[in-house]
Amino acid sequence: MLEAKNVCLEIDAPPGSEEESLHLLREVSFTTPQGHLMAIVGPSGCGKTTLLKVIAGISEQTEGALKWEMRDLKEEEDLHPGELGYVPQFSVAHDLLTVDECVAASMSLRTQLPGTDEFEPKLENILAITGLTELADRRVKVLSGGQKRRLGLALELVTNPCLLLCDEVTSGLDPKSEREITDLLRVLSRENPRRVVINVTHSLASLEAFDSVLVMYQGRLVYHGPPKLLTHYFTVDHPEEVYLRLTQRDAQAWHESWQKKRDYYEQMLIEASATPSLELKSEDETQGVKHEDIAPEELPSLFSQVLVLLRRRWTIFRRDSGQVWLHIAMLIGFPLLVVIFALDGIKPLRQLNQRQETDIVYEMQRQAQHQVEQLQAGGLVSGLIMLQVVLVTLMASNNAAREIAGERLILEREKLGGLSTLAYVISKVLFLGVFVLAQSLWMGIFVDMVTGGLPGDLVIKLALLILASASMTSVCLGISALCRTPEKATILSIYLVGFQLPLSGAVLTLPDWLEGAVNPFIAAFWSWSGSLRSMGDTAFYDAVKQVTDTTLVSPELAAFVLLAHIIVGLSMTYVGTQGSQWE
Ligand SMILES: Nc1ncnc2c1ncn2[C@@H]1O[C@H](COP(=O)(O)OP(=O)(O)OP(=O)(O)O)[C@@H](O)[C@H]1O
Ligand SMILES: [Mg+2]
């Protein structure tokens, strides 16, 4: 039994409005017996989705109580993820996956069925009852609005939820499909004796399939009773006239008159649910639907969730041809860009190296010319290292900026379904880790090969390049997890990369007081500076010192600070992923 007692939801009013707070829900009270299918109806903006979110535990009521089988969902234990099914109003699947891949992934993330004989039959059964069998190979991107809604429902049927909340799964369907899905919801409500199914709908024309109808108006509950008494209660001829009728009185007045009659109507619902006449009798109605056990599905292990997420992410990446080409272009183009800048300078670089080792007398005689060449070589080495670092961090920000923000609503739904935040973050780290290694190793090795070997220890330079990329990747991933939209995350990440070069001290030396305050946050500074210091025992180091006044740090210190960046970035990612961002 689901029971709401005086549920209120009050939020701070947006800046500039006259009121101090907004009452999205006011004193909502109702009782829904087990094995029951309820419709929530009401004009747009009346609080239907808000009520569903409060029941699902996505938003917490500011007053009142919600009870599931006498268990207070706020004070006591929440519903187990396998006990709750929530189909949101928006599409919650990745555009580039096919319908069956989405359902299979949902089943793999929420149950222990993968690898068992039950997996395939259950998958096929879910596709069959939601009418998706023929669309199984079709990508989500090309599905119609109604088909996406069926998919949203299919994703929730992978477990055996005893509370199934559907936000407009029947909207946007033709009357026949609407009827089929409503019948399916009805069958589902009977299939498990503990189950309650709630569907938000706009359609007032086909309410007879529901056991009860709950009418919301301006955040208030104004009716909850049998559908056949709806017209009688609102004194209208047809259910479609109810919305117009509602506008004729103020919401508080409707609410007050409902309070007086509530007990009578709800008693009727409870009695009706106890009589066998409402129970499912027709065999046709159960056709295709396997009767499931009552126990909620056990969640899979963290390791299994990581594997499913990684496999799914890789499939999505492979299919996103725009991203694949962009990655290939950057992987090839960026190291080439560095090499082009090096072409003219490679000769003096090599000469400087030789002269230092073999012809020191000759060099003493031509000190003035040497000075110029030293300046050139210093500028070139410093510039090449910085260019590599900046381009690697640019690729890193492109990898990570949209990674979480771009699939936020899918993440929220999956978290509600039992996805572990840690498994999600680990899967992102592993997926992006491959890009970090590939992009920085290729950049470092390619440039080193073509220029005939930049001065300094190659291993240290590669390690610092990898760390710079990992640092930018994890901070941008953190931004992506904390930002509300992918656009915001992208802009912030671009700014972060944009400031790397001017604030690194490689081009212009910052004033001392600013250098100390800014450097700790600039990954490029640490990678560049540590790489240059690794040349400490070559002539290039002196040359570099001539072109920069910025204090250079040891590779060890640079690695340490970059590791600290990575830890901060990953902590931001974890905290951001953990937080709820449904809007
Ligand atoms: N976080 C929020 N901040 C401010 N207002 C909000 C917030 N969430 C919802 N609202 C407001 O609360 C009201 C109810 O929203 P809700 O989404 O529940 O409506 P609805 O009945 O589901 O509408 P629809 O039928 O269009 O989906 C709306 O006026 C909406 O603008
Ligand atoms: Mg809504």
- Please report the domains of the chain, with CATH numbers, ordered by start residue: 2-83+164-278 (3.40.50.300), 94-160 (no CATH), 302-578 (no CATH)
Q: Show contacts of 309-315: CB within 8 Å, 24+ apart.
A: 309/109, 309/423, 309/424, 309/427, 310/427, 310/430, 310/431, 312/94, 312/97, 312/101, 312/105, 313/427, 313/431, 314/431, 315/96, 315/97, 315/101
Ligand 1 atom closest to the CA of 216, numbered from 1: 21
The single-letter DSSP state of residue 418 is: T
Q: Is ligand 1 within 6 A of the CB of residue 201? A: no
pTM of the predicted model as reported, rounded to 2 decimal places: 0.89
Which residue is closest in CA terms to ligand 1's atom 20?
45
Bridge partner list, 9: 25
Ligand 1 atom closest to the CA of 168, numbered from 1: 27
Q: Which residues are CB-contacts of 196 (< 8 A; sequence separation ≥ 6)?
A: 1, 2, 32, 33, 34, 35, 36, 38, 162, 163, 164, 189
Q: Is ligand 1 within 6 A of the CB of residue 40? A: no
State which residues of the chain have pLDDT below 50: 277-293
Q: Is ligand 1 within 6 A of the CB of residue 46? A: yes
| Cα(45) to centroid(ligand 2), Å | 7
**What whole-number distance in Å separates Cα of residue 278 and Cα of residue 283?**
14
Q: Are strands 21-32 and 2-12 parallel, antiparallel or unpaired?
A: antiparallel
Q: Are strands 71-72 and 36-41 parallel, antiparallel or unpaired?
A: unpaired
Using DSSP, state whether 370 is helix, strand or coil. Answer: helix
Q: Is ligand 1 within 6 A of the CB of residue 24? A: yes
Nearest Cα to Cα of residue 454 among 527, 350, 533, 355: 350
Contact 4/25 with Cβ under 8 angstroms? Answer: no
Nearest Cα to Cα of residue 376 among 544, 531, 530: 544
Q: Show contacts of 325-333: CB within 8 Å, 24+ apart.
A: 326/398, 327/435, 330/391, 330/394, 330/395, 330/398, 330/439, 331/395, 331/438, 331/439, 331/442
Burial class (CB in 10 A: 0-12, 13-18, 19+), 38: buried
pLDDT (0 to 100) of residue 445: 94
Output the CA–CA distances (angstroms, integers) from residue 77 to 71, 417, 429, in the order listed.
7, 16, 32
pLDDT (0 to 100) of residue 264: 87
- Best residue for ligand 1 mutational test, from 21, 46, 90 (most atoms within 8 Å of Cβ): 46
Sign for the pseudo-dihedral over CA of 558, 564, 565, 566: positive
Give the CA angle between residues 25, 29, 35 to the nearest 5°.
Answer: 120
Q: Is ligand 1 within 6 A of the CB of residue 583? A: yes
3-state helix, strand, coil in the chain (%, to 5): 60, 10, 30
pLDDT (0 to 100) of residue 275: 63
Which residue is closest in CA terms to ligand 1's atom 30?
45
Q: Is ligand 1 within 6 A of the CB of residue 459? A: no
pLDDT (0 to 100) of residue 171: 83
**What whole-number distance in Å separates Cα of residue 583 and Cα of residue 387?**
39
Bridge partner list, 223: 215
What is the CA 186 to chain-centroid distance, rounded?
32
Which residue is closest in CA terms to ligand 1's atom 6?
24
Give the CA angle between residues 3, 263, 34 to the nearest 5°.
Answer: 35
What is the CA 295 to chain-centroid distance, rounded?
29
Q: Is ligand 1 within 6 A of the CB of residue 399? A: no
**What whole-number distance in Å separates Cα of residue 385 and Cα of residue 393?**
12
